[in-house]
Amino acid sequence: MDKNMYDVVIIGAGVIGAAVARYLSRYSLNCCVLEKHNDVGEETTNANSAIVHSGYDPLPGTKKAYFNVLGNKMMPSVCKELDVPFFKIGSLTVAFSDEDVETLNELLLRAKKNGVDAKIIDHDELLKMEPNLNPIAKKAIFCKDAGIISPFNLCVNLMENAMDNGVELKLNREVTSIDKDNGTFIINTKNGEKYLSKIVINAAGLYSDNIAKMVDADNFHVIPRKGEYFVLDHFNASWVKHTLFMCPTKVGKGVLISPTTSYNYIIGPTNEENSKEDTSTSADVLTSLKETAKKLIPNIPFDQNIRQFSGIRANSSSGDFIIEESEASPNFYNLGAIMSPGLASSVAIGEYVSNLIKNKLNLDVNEKFNPLIRKHFKLSNLTSDEYNDLIKHDPRYGHIICRCEKVTEGEIVDAIHRNCGATTVKGIKKRVRPGFGKCQGTFCEEEVIKILARELHKNLNEICYSDLGTEIMRYDVKGAKND
């Protein structure tokens, strides 16, 4: 058999591709994931609000509503299995005007239809729950089941678990065209390789429409829209305790303020027309974001801002997720335009699609499937006795590399040597957080490069920041090329 012959090829290793891979690994099959970047989760999965929405907002009867509510229910146990940071902190959608109160009532009905636990909170109770909220707030919908998650760890750990259970991941493989021969798909990649497969799953996010058109010219269209954010340092763990949403209006959903799983705060997103590629931030947009966010909390400590970033939504003209087998090209599944709440829905979509494929290929159960990944040791999650024991066992856990986020050498080495391990500075940052803190990597980046080079048996000048071609130490201080 051709070594590149698979039962299933998944195109795209964002959270959707990773979730499908993980759930498919419950079955006995040859499955491979092709990803164009040098790591998983480098596009939309890397830049979003990181909220596991409760599901009160999507229109009843839509795919968004179905998968969001199911994904929200599944997330606590999946995150336990995969050791992913997840906190069920609840969300408050706040009304500031009579018109907003009307909207809250409609949203409450929608929540009930979607099967979401939601209730209206009055002004006094609301201010007790969130003392820093703008006191002109009238009411809010409280959804206790909303949560916050680390999208990076969710994606990486889903893929690690899929690989532990037999899935192959091929990075730096950009799919450029797809042919069909006698019912077999031939997937061509930019580096000249060919992958053959009975089934193709298109989980290419913003580019899912381009991939869909490779087998069916008349297909859906992704509409990219940018969202920009501020990230505040972890200056005070009780500044905001819930995810605070504005009431959606005809002009948009407004912005949110939320804690993150790393005890930072996130403020955003904006909503602008954009290309699929441009992830820049702009001073004008961020200035207007500041003003909008002040409606939720008037005294936001913007002096604690440590980073701005943007993510690009993959919206569809229908407004709903596209999760379907292509009519023109059977055995080709489009998981396209997975916009918000795609992160919250990811595990439910993964389970659903894997069940479709199981039935289609009549797959047997993978008797060796293990739903758990190897535990991570994180300084902040250990008691001092546990931490001391760990250092005795492996002294590298006593060597702090990132002072802002308190990350040890042991955690960095572990992140490199797992399945779906980090090979880049950004890969380390996403998995264990050095570079995410106040100094943004000024002190630790050089140490991280040295550890990567040592563990991967590479030269320092071969270590990339992210994609191939982003080597950091290519020139010495006098500008002479190192390689």
Record the tokens describing residue 144, joined without a space: 């206790």
Rounded to a whole number of angstroms, the minimum distance from the CB of residue 401 to ligand FAD is 27
Three-state SS for 415?
Answer: helix
Considering only 22, 26, 53, 431, the residue that binds ligand FAD (CB under 6 A) is 53
Residue placing its CB nearer to ligand FAD in the complex, 203 or 451: 203
Residue placing its CB nearer to ligand FAD in the complex, 36 or 63: 36
Residue placing its CB nearer to ligand FAD in the complex, 348 or 432: 348
Q: From its phi and psi, is residue 124 left (phi > 0), alpha (psi between -120 and 50) or beta? A: alpha
Rounded to a whole number of angstroms, the minimum distance from the CB of residue 35 to ligand FAD is 5
Residue placing its CB nearer to ligand FAD in the complex, 151 or 410: 151
Name the segment binding ligand FAD (CB under 6 A); options: 32-40, 59-67, 87-95, 448-456.
Answer: 32-40
- Please report how many Cα atoms fall inside a 13 Å half-sphere around the Cα of residue 138, on the Cβ side: 13
- Reference 248, options 384, 139, 104; nearest CA is 104
User: Which amino acid, residue 101?
Assistant: V
Q: Is 257 in the site for ligand FAD (CB under 6 A)?
A: no
- Reference 143, options 242, 45, 237; nearest CA is 242
Three-state SS for 151?
Answer: helix
E strand or H helix that includes residue 16: helix 15-24
The verdict on whether omega for the bond into residue 85 sits within 30 degrees of 0, i.e. cis, is: no
What are the b/e assignments for 390-421, b being 16+ CB within 10 Å?
A: bbeeeebbeeebbebbebbbbbbbbbbebbbb
Rounded to a whole number of angstroms, the minimum distance from the CB of residue 161 to ligand FAD is 16
List, in sequence order, every beta strand (DSSP E) within 203-304. Answer: 222-232, 243-246, 256-259, 265-268, 272-273
Site for ligand FAD in 299-338 (CB under 6 A): 311-313, 338
Rounded to a whole number of angstroms, the minimum distance from the CB of residue 468 to ligand FAD is 13
Residue placing its CB nearer to ligand FAD in the complex, 140 or 412: 140
Residue placing its CB nearer to ligand FAD in the complex, 22 or 313: 313
Q: Is 187 in the site for ligand FAD (CB under 6 A)?
A: no
Considering only 38, 49, 103, 219, the residue that binds ligand FAD (CB under 6 A) is 49
Q: Is 178 in the site for ligand FAD (CB under 6 A)?
A: no
Q: Is 343 in the site for ligand FAD (CB under 6 A)?
A: yes
List the catalytic residue out of 53, 221, 234, 393. 53
Q: If you search the block for the tokens 């595990």, which residue do you land on?
A: 347
Residue placing its CB nearer to ligand FAD in the complex, 49 or 132: 49
Name the segment binding ligand FAD (CB under 6 A); options: 41-49, 108-116, 122-130, 364-372.
Answer: 41-49
Round to whole Å and give the CA distance between 333 and 289.
38
Residue placing its CB nearer to ligand FAD in the complex, 41 or 434: 41
Considering only 200, 206, 407, 449, the residue that binds ligand FAD (CB under 6 A) is 206
Rounded to a whole number of angstroms, the minimum distance from the CB of residue 355 to ligand FAD is 19
Rounded to a whole number of angstroms, the minimum distance from the CB of residue 395 to ligand FAD is 36
State the CB neighbour count (10 A cutoff) for residue 291: 8
Q: Binding residues for ligand FAD, how many (CB under 6 A)?
A: 41
Q: Is 379 in the site for ligand FAD (CB under 6 A)?
A: no
Round to whole Å and give the CA distance between 317 and 265.
32
Record the tokens describing residue 425, joined without a space: 């500075």
Q: Tell whether the torsion through CA atoms of 45, 51, 57 and 62 is positive or negative.
A: positive
Q: Residue 142 to residues 72, 92, 122, 329: CA-CA distances in angstroms?
A: 15, 5, 10, 44
β-pair partners for 187: 178, 195
Q: Is 261 in the site for ligand FAD (CB under 6 A)?
A: no
Q: Is 174 in the site for ligand FAD (CB under 6 A)?
A: yes
Name the segment binding ligand FAD (CB under 6 A); options: 44-52, 90-98, 177-185, 352-360.
Answer: 44-52
Q: In angstroms, how far is CA 398 from the centroid of its own chain?
A: 30
Which residues have a Cβ under 8 Å from the Cβ of 429 and sit 6 or more positions away?
435, 436, 441, 448
Rounded to a whole number of angstroms, the minimum distance from the CB of residue 343 to ligand FAD is 3
Rounded to a whole number of angstroms, the minimum distance from the CB of residue 383 to ligand FAD is 32
53 is catalytic: yes
Record the tokens describing residue 354, joined without a space: 């894997």
Residue placing its CB nearer to ligand FAD in the complex, 35 or 409: 35
Q: Is 44 in the site for ligand FAD (CB under 6 A)?
A: yes
**245, 231 Cβ separation under 8 angstroms:** no
Q: Residue 243 to residues 111, 142, 155, 311, 411: CA-CA distances in angstroms?
A: 17, 10, 22, 19, 29
Per-residue binding string, ligand FAD, 214-233, x by CB under 6 A, is: -------------x------
Q: Is 137 in the site for ligand FAD (CB under 6 A)?
A: no
Considering only 156, 162, 171, 175, the residue that binds ligand FAD (CB under 6 A) is 175
Round to whole Å and give the CA distance between 122 and 95.
10
Footprint of ligand FAD (CB under 6 A): 11-17, 34-37, 41-45, 48-51, 53, 174-175, 203-207, 211, 227, 269, 311-313, 338-344
Query: Which residues belong to the active site?
Result: 53
